[in-house]
Structure formats: C-alpha cells, structure tokens
Structure 1
C-alpha cells in the first residue's frame, strides 16, 4: 500500500464542505459500502480556488523484525528521518472539480479491497475508519478524525500497515488546509 496515496486521500478529504447525512450505513445492515459513501458525500461541495494543504508526519513506528534483512539498514533510518517533516503545497480546485467531488477520494488504492468500519462526514466533523487489503502490498487500517468549515480543515490521521514490503508500520500525521482565494496558476492541479 503506498503511504503517499493514503495521505493524498486525506489531504483532499476535508476540502469538501456540506451537510450530507452523517450515517453512511444508510440501510442499517452494519456494513458501509462504497455506494453508501458515495451517497453520503453526494451533497458535498468543494470551494473552488487555491488551497494550502499542510501534512506533518508526527510519528512513524516500524517493526524492523518484519523487514527483510537487506532492507533494515536503510528503511528504518529513512523513515526516522521523515518524523517531524512538514510538507506544504498549494492546490487549485477548478469550478468543474468543485461541482462534482469524487467519492473515490475516500476509497484508497484502486487495486485494494477496502471496507469501511465508520464514515461520518457532516456538520463540520469527519470521522472515518477503513481497512484495505492490497494483494501486492498488504493490509492497512486508515483512520481520519477532524473538523472542517467551508474555508479550512484540520485532522489527525493514522495508517497502520501490515504485510507490506516495507514491513509493518504505523504512521501518525496531522493535516490542515486553508482556502487562500483565487487560483494563480502556480498551484498543483
């Protein structure tokens, strides 16, 4: 499972605003499907324009015993060097993108099979947990909790990975974003 994909999902997740129903398990069967998530975010909208998104890696814990011997010497130190790293980028959300935000941004890697344990996205609150299995890179449990308004968001993320080629690890990060105004052409699209 590529960590960057899940962090990118998290970065985009809270730029949406709206008051869609909070209980994604619409049929009450105890299982939240991708279709139910899509319905839950159907009324969400993204404010078009420039957004500043900041991700900080708070902690990265790795089980070095789960790493292949040849990878232990460089993976552990490389991940240790990511702790405390702050990445800020400007993105531009076009009016077309804003009109139809994609529920797939909550779906994880397209090759993975994901199940939602909970999904709340309403009234300024997001509380999501999903588990994914990717045949090529293992299992991951992703948790996002936070708050949002139409011009900002802030959340905490946790990604617990097992069975990946990089070994078992847990990544904790914070993510915040702020609407800055009109796009300037300097942003990532």
Structure 2
C-alpha cells in the first residue's frame, strides 16, 4: 500500500486497522489522529482492535483522475483500473493492543478527522489532510470484524503541482495466519 500515489490514502486505510467484537462505539469530531488513537485505547479490551497476525489486503483502484494528466499517463492509469493488487503486513500483538497516532493518520498530524465513527461492525469517517501541495479530503465507509474488513474510500483534493485529483478505491483484508517475516510492510 505504501506505493500508492498519495500516502494520505494509505493513512485512511490504516485507520481501519481496527475491529470490534461487541457494540462499543468510538466516535470523534474534528480531532487529530492521536486523539482518535487515545479514544480507541480507552475503549480497551478486545472491543476495538484487529487480531494480530499476518494480514492480506486486496486493493482495487476504481477511479483515478488528475487534472491535466498526459495522455500516456492517463492510458497507463486506465490499464490499472479494476485490477486487484494484494499486499501483506504483520500486525504485532503490541500494535493491536496499543494503536498509536501513526496507526490512525500521519505522524506529523497534518490530518484531522472531521468525523470518525466505528462500532457495531461498521466504520464511517471523513478526514482532511493539509500539506504544502494542497488539501485532500477522504471518506471511508465499510464493515469490519476481528479477522477481516471491507471498505470503500474516496479522495478529492489536489495532487502533484496543485492539480485537481479524484480517486476511488476498494480494500478488503483478512487475517491469514501468523506473521512469517516475509510481509511487504
């Protein structure tokens, strides 16, 4: 996932790196990723976390548009649409039990959750990230459990050189056993 065009999209995807086993709900409005991480930690127990282990995440790009994109780049991007890519990661027990701010967004705190709601197996969030190159707004909706999640994400904002950019992607992940040390990230 770290190879995607905008790291902010990865940030939103990682914010889903949680799961619930009961009806506890974590909600936040206009809060930094560190505040959301604190709320999740305060929820405690197994109520709001993924199970540790090896995770396989399937990523499918649905749409990618950048204003003024050269024709050859547009064709290459079009060839990628609809194709799935799978990445693997290892979630340690420590990361699952104590997710930090980096788990929920950029470590530089350039992002703010306009809204974040997670509970009862569903997640809904909107995050705004401001950088030198502009601003991106990302929304995410999906479902989750301790061993899997599925989400749809959409991003609107400015891409390279201040050009308008729009992107939509779908993610689905599942726990695939214990960590092997051969994961992508």
Q: CA deviation at 1:100?
A: 1.5
The CA deviation at 1:132 is 1.4
Counterparts of 2:131 and 2:140, CA distance in 1: 20
Q: Structure 1's 151 and 10: CA in aligned 2 closer, same or farther, altered over 3 A? A: same
In structure 1, C-alpha distance between the alignment counterparts of 2:6 and 2:75, rounded to whole Å: 18
Cα offset, 1:159, TM superposition: 0.9
Secondary structure of the residue that 2:28 maps to in structure 1? Answer: coil
Q: Which residue of 2 aligns with 1:28?
A: none
Asked whether 1:158 is paired with 2:180, we answer no
Scaled by the length of structure 1, the TM-score of the pair is: 0.79
3-state SS of the aligned residue for 1:59? strand
Distance in 2 (CA, whole Å) between partners of 1:183 and 1:125 is: 26
C-alpha deviation, 1:61, in angstroms: 2.3
Q: How far did 1:108 drift?
A: 3.6
**Is contact 1:34-1:107 (8 Å) kept?**
yes
Displacement after TM superposition at 1:125 (Å)? 1.1
1:46 aligns with 2:50: yes
Count of matched residue positions in the alignment of Structure 1 and Structure 2: 175
TM-score, scaled to structure 2: 0.80
Whether the 8 Å contact between 2:33 and 2:106 is mirrored in structure 1 is no
Where do 5+ consecutive residues of structure 1 fail to align?
26-30
When Rg is computed on C-alpha atoms for both structures, the one with the higher figure is: 1
CA drift at 1:147: 0.6
The Cα shift of 1:87 comes to: 1.1
Distance 1:56 1:173 in 2: 6
Map 1:95-114 onto structure 2 (within 5 A): 95-108=93-106, 110=108, 113-114=110-111
Q: Which of 91, 112, 125 does residue 128 from structure 1 map onto?
A: 125
Give, in angstroms, the shift of residue 34 of structure 1.
Answer: 3.9
Paired residue for 2:26?
A: 22
